[in-house]
Amino acid sequence: METCTLATLSQLLDAEGLLVARRNLEAAAATPITGADCDSRFAAAGHLFIAKGVAFKPAYLTSALERGAVAYLTDEARADELAAAAPQVPALIVNDVRRAMGIVSPIAWGHPDRTLGVVGITGTKGKTTTAYMLRTVLDAGSDAPRTAIMGSVETFDGIERAESVNTTPEAPDLWRHVANTQASGLPYLVMEVSSQALKYDRTLGLELGVACFLNLGRDHISPVEHPDEEDYFQSKLKIFSQAKVGVVNLSSDRAPEVLAAAGTCGRVVTFAICDEDASSASVAEADTGAQPTIWASDVTTNGRGMRFVAHTPSWEGPVALPLLGRFNVENALAAIVICEVLGIPREQVVAGLAQVSVPGRMEVIEAAGGKVVGVIDFAHNKMAFSRLLPAVRAQYPGRTIISVFGAVGSKAVERRYELPQEAAKWSDLLIFTEDDPGEEPVADICAVMEASTPEGTPCETILDRAEAVQRAVDLAFAEDGGAVVCLLCRGTEPTQHRGHAFVPVKLDAELFAEAVARHEA
């Protein structure tokens, strides 16, 4: 592998039209670069440090240099300030630091992705569940982990394990995790790829063995995310430009366009749920003129899970899934398709899916002998609500359904209008509460949700989430015919974004358990 130097990165940035100036590079041009970081805590000998973000302080550069960083990259606005803080240190000054770090990071880290089986999963709903399904299958039958994962719940790369900050990390962090995966000897890396990551080049240069497109709904539309639905959609489609194999759900909205974008891959594999055979109505609805490569038939609910028959080019047979909802059958199909591409045998696929567990996704907790049921799920957008809540209603017919949720502050503003409208279709009572309000008052967000609730649907606002959960559980225990409490939007999120801080809070599962304990004591 060719050694990366400061001169290499300088020439690359210049060729991309990003380089504005070089400082102190003459004598240091041949300096080897062995990594790149935008977090000074991970800086190490031979690394390039990238100074970015509105909260950046020169002290971070000083800390990175103390840890062994040999140069830094920054934008024009910060260049003079950092030159004063580190006058002798080589620097690359660029006009777009976000794109620049997407370009230099894979080169600085030596493209460790090229020796791994990297799978990228995108979609409005189901990325985390599909990633966990796939990891469980790939690890099935092995005493030690074989699969690294990056997503909205956790990041594990064989060396580091931590709760995730972003669904897809910033480019320098992403490539550190890829390098750790390679160094630890794990053969697979499964990652959720967000629309923001694709739009802002966090995954630039990453070679995906498989890119999977699950579905498309409306989400993340705001001045600080995607300006409109088209920008959101086109950002997601970029995943196929860096993949060898494209995997497409034929039942997705705008499936013909997704298929066309996937056509840039060397191979395209499709999937869908079909009621009878590969030409049945559920596929025709996608209006693609295509039949799925892999499909599921005979979908039924089995206790607290699903059963279906999988049809693949190499095998067909029954699959048991310990998760509720037809949408989870779609997620399982996506995992099966990817396993087919990777050459994973039937026995391993079926065994893995039978034991899959996804933190904060359709977690079912029973209390009072099953009279009261808690459903904890990360569902946080209209598509997720429209899939999860009907599945709960179908699974628990005749029960009172109480849904507890909030909406985030400052972004994805459509949720505060859409979520109450969708939840009202399937719930008997809505309780609005806190969910990452940021700098917005929780009361203001909840007021909009109350105003958006359809007439005839009872709703309440309880600003404190613990109190909201307690209220829901109290009402559930009072129902003679049993009740289901759906705690939505949070899943396994351990913090609330309040103001400029992320404040530690109890998980919804803990809040539910504590509320139940007050009745069962």
Question: Three-state SS across 33-64?
Answer: CCEEECCHHHCCCCEEEECCCCCCCHHHHHHH
**179 and 85 co-located in one domain:** no
Q: How confident is the model at residue 284 (pLDDT cuts 50, 70, 90)?
A: very low
User: What is the pLDDT, as a whole number, of residue 143?
Assistant: 85
User: What is the pLDDT, as a whole number, of residue 39?
Assistant: 94
DSSP 85-120: HSTTS-EEEES-HHHHHHHHHHHHTT-GGGGSEEEE
Alpha helices of 188-228 — where are they, by DSSP H?
A: 195-199
User: What is the pLDDT, as a whole number, of residue 494?
Assistant: 87
Of 313, 345, 377, the residue at which a domain comes to its end is 345
**426 and 499 co-located in one domain:** yes
State both tokens at 141.
């039958």
User: Is residue 292, in this structure, part of any structural domain at all?
Assistant: no
Residues 111-116 have a mean pLDDT of: 95
Of 107, 124, 154, the residue at which a domain comes to its end is 107
User: Is residue 289, in this structure, part of any structural domain at all?
Assistant: no
Cβ contact 186:171 at 8 Å: no
**450 and 407 co-located in one domain:** yes
Cβ neighbours for 268, distance < 8 A, ≥ 6 positions apart: 245, 246, 247, 248, 259, 262
- The dihedrals phi and psi of 276, each to the nearest 5 degrees, come to -125, -60
Above 80 in pLDDT, residue 282? no
- The dihedrals phi and psi of 133, each to the nearest 5 degrees, come to -60, -50
Above 80 in pLDDT, residue 283? no
**82 and 116 co-located in one domain:** no
- The 10s digit of each residue's pLDDT in 338-375 is 999 999 999 999 999 999 988 778 888 999 888 999 99
**48 and 182 co-located in one domain:** no
Range of the domain at 60: 6-107
Above 50 in pLDDT, residue 281? no
**225 and 86 co-located in one domain:** no
Q: Report how many domains make up the chain.
A: 3
User: What is the pLDDT, as a whole number, of residue 316?
Assistant: 95
Answer left, alpha or beta for residue 287, where phi above 0 means left and psi between -120 and 50 means alpha: left
User: What is the pLDDT, as a whole number, of residue 277?
Assistant: 63
Q: Which residue matches tokens 């009872």?
A: 458
- The 10s digit of each residue's pLDDT in 132-152 is 999 999 999 888 889 999 998
Q: How confident is the model at residue 521 (pLDDT cuts 50, 70, 90)?
A: low
Measure the CA angle with vertex 493, ends 488 and 495; round to 5°: 120
State both tokens at 273.
């749920």
- The dihedrals phi and psi of 102, each to the nearest 5 degrees, come to -65, -30
Q: Cα dist. 135→94, 261, 308 in Å?
A: 38, 26, 20
**377 and 231 co-located in one domain:** no
DSSP for residue 266? S
CATH code of residue 80: 3.40.1390.10
